[in-house]
Amino acid sequence: MKHQALALYVTAGFGHLKPALSLLKHLKPHGIHTESWDVLADEIGESPRKKYSLYNYISTNPHLIPLWNKLTRHDLIGPTFLKPFHWYDTVANSPVIQRLKYRFKENKNTIIFCTHFTPANLASLALPHHKIFLLATDIHLHALWTVNRPNVHYLIPHSDTKKDLLKYGISEKNIHLTGFPINPNLIKGHAQRHKKRVVNLKKEHTTDILIISGGAGTGKIQMQNLLKTFATPAHAHNVEIKLLASTNKLQQALEHTCRQEGLSKQAVTIDTYTPQKLYQSMRWAEVLITKAGGDITFEAIAEGLPIYTLKDVGDHERLNRKYLESVGASKKLEATVYPWELIHHDILTGSLSKMCYNSYKAGKTHRDFDWTKFLFNQMGWKLAKKTTYNS
């Protein structure tokens, strides 16, 4: 029977979809049939987690964010306390379990990987004799991610992730340090872009800045205020800005702000955020401004971008940001300092070039990991050929 790969995810944004699609893209050149499912989507493909996201509601409320950040601390609540949540998850999604069981029970030649604990929980119950690979999308994992079954194997991006999982009682043999799956579109040509970026960052004038709204926590008011702070350097042709908005509504609001500020389309480009547009924009950018979500954290260092971070939404983002700062790839944007003043200061002092170098160095693990070889070995399959991406 033909080898195939299935990516299971849930959609509340792109944070779990992008790594799923990236993994599939690594496998596809090897003749693997690939498909991806949002396990909670309805018949027309809409996910309730996207339409009715409590996370999105909380994280756009400035009064609730501090409470949310405390409640999401990865070391606050143990896995035993959260078992009822997994029981509810199982009962509420029993049709998904039956669907997976019916479709894949007889086909052992399927790589099944998940980018969220819910599909991993459901798949491990539906297919107890299959290996279920659960990809960690942040450095530190909340206890909710504890799917402690013999057939669930964790693929982790950092050694600190292993410490969390061991603390939660996950067997060490089920934990694999792999790095984070980077889309091949970002891997191809990375070395040449890095060299060019380092040279460009030594200039004292024009800088290409990419701003990502990132969905929850970085919405309309925050993005409008950020855009206004760049009005003066944009008018003076010191910066060229591309801003990726998470929704069409936000894009229209930001375009209106540009008109109010008299910003030309040459100085500021506003576009809707999609994975492909993100990868295109990251290859162009010299500086990235975003919040430290899991996927963008690893994609940014794989590309070697220096990162200025916005406010954290959830404790996992605080810890991602702390990691980026610890490797010298990032600084936090403070409310008391105009972004361009900080960025321009870092250009003049050479700090930005160092951040760029540190980011690129930290991303090596993620760029170089051979996902196909690892997954084929885990499945006991023979690797017929190796596909490489030009550096």
Q: Do residues 24 and 34 touch, judged by C-beta distance below 8 A?
A: yes
CATH code for the domain defined by 185-365? 3.40.50.2000
Q: How confident is the model at residue 106 (pLDDT cuts 50, 70, 90)?
A: low
More confident residue, 354 or 46: 354
Residue-wise pLDDT for 285-324, tens only, equals 999 999 898 899 999 999 999 999 988 888 888 999 999 9
pLDDT for 52 beyond 50: no
More confident residue, 364 or 52: 364
For residue 268, list its beta bridge partners: 241
Q: Where in the chain is the domain with CATH 3.40.50.2000?
A: 185-365
What's the confidence (pLDDT) of residue 250?
A: 86
Would you state the CATH architecture of domain 4-179+369-379? 3-Layer(aba) Sandwich (3.40)
Residue-wise pLDDT for 63-99, tens only, equals 776 776 777 777 777 777 777 778 888 888 888 889 8
Phi-psi region of 343 (alpha: psi -120 to 50; beta: other; left: phi over 0): alpha
Mean pLDDT (whole number) for 34-63: 64
Residue-wise pLDDT for 159-171, tens only, equals 999 999 999 999 9
What's the confidence (pLDDT) of residue 144?
A: 84
pLDDT for 202 beyond 90: no
- C-alpha distances in Å from residue 36, one per residue of 22, 32, 159, 258, 364: 11, 13, 28, 38, 27
Residue-wise pLDDT for 343-360, tens only, equals 999 999 999 999 999 999
Q: Please give the model's pTM, rounded to 2 decimal places.
A: 0.90
Summary mean pLDDT of the chain: 86
Q: Do residues 375 and 27 touch, judged by C-beta distance below 8 A?
A: yes
